[in-house]
């Protein structure tokens, strides 16, 4: 993944094909590939609905899909220590927290980092086991 920009690296990873498709459908490929120094929390394929109808419904709502994907983006290339040092603002405008728990890092108390601190040309990637959901706006 190190030789590629973020969205291109995600699209080429067999564990992240659904995420790659979601990035493309949301129209975020260019934005994520040209962003400078970001951290991306990348949900694995199993983090998305396994039912094809549910997945199609998720991919159809471009506005909500974009909000969800932008909630996985943090400014700056974060090391594990920086990631767990306090609340982090997402590109979507929400806030997430990451805490070390034994040998793992938990994102917002729910998503477990499966593999992290992966370097791409413009981002640091942490592969997570769940899709993060931003709070609804009132």
pLDDT (tens digit, 9 = 90+) per residue, 31-54? Answer: 999 999 999 999 999 999 888 898
* Sequence ranges of the domains in the chain: 6-128
CB 21 within 8 A of CB 29: no
pTM over 0.85: yes
Number of residues in the chain: 138
Q: Is 128 helix (H, G, I), strand (E, B) or coil?
A: strand
pLDDT (tens digit, 9 = 90+) per residue, 65-110? Answer: 999 999 999 999 999 999 999 899 999 999 999 999 888 999 998 9
Report strand pairing: 38-43 vs 123-128.
Answer: parallel
Q: For domain 6-128, which architecture applies?
A: Roll (2.30)
Both tokens of 4, joined, read 């590629």
Which residue do the tokens 């190190």 mark? Answer: 2
Q: Three-state SS string across 44-74, please?
A: CHHHCCCCHHHHHHHHHCHHHHHHHHHCCEE
Beta bridge pairs of residue 128: 43, 113
* Euclidean distance between CA atoms 42 and 116, whole angstroms: 10
């Amino acid at each position: 993944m190190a030789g590629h920009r973020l969205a291109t690296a995600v699209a080429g990873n067999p564990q992240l094909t659904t995420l790659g498709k979601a990035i493309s459908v949301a129209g975020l490929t260019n934005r994520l590939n040209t962003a400078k120094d970001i951290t991306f929390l990348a949900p694995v394929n199993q983090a998305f609905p396994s039912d094809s109808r549910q997945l199609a419904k998720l991919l159809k709502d471009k506005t909500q899909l974009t909000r969800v994907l932008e909630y996985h983006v943090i400014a700056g290339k974060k090391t594990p220590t920086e990631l767990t040092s306090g609340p982090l603002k997402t590109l979507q405008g929400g806030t997430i927290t990451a805490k070390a728990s034994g040998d793992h890092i938990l994102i917002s108390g729910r998503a477990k980092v499966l593999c992290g601190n992966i370097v791409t040309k413009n981002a640091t990637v942490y592969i997570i086991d769940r899709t993060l959901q931003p709070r609804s706006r009132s």
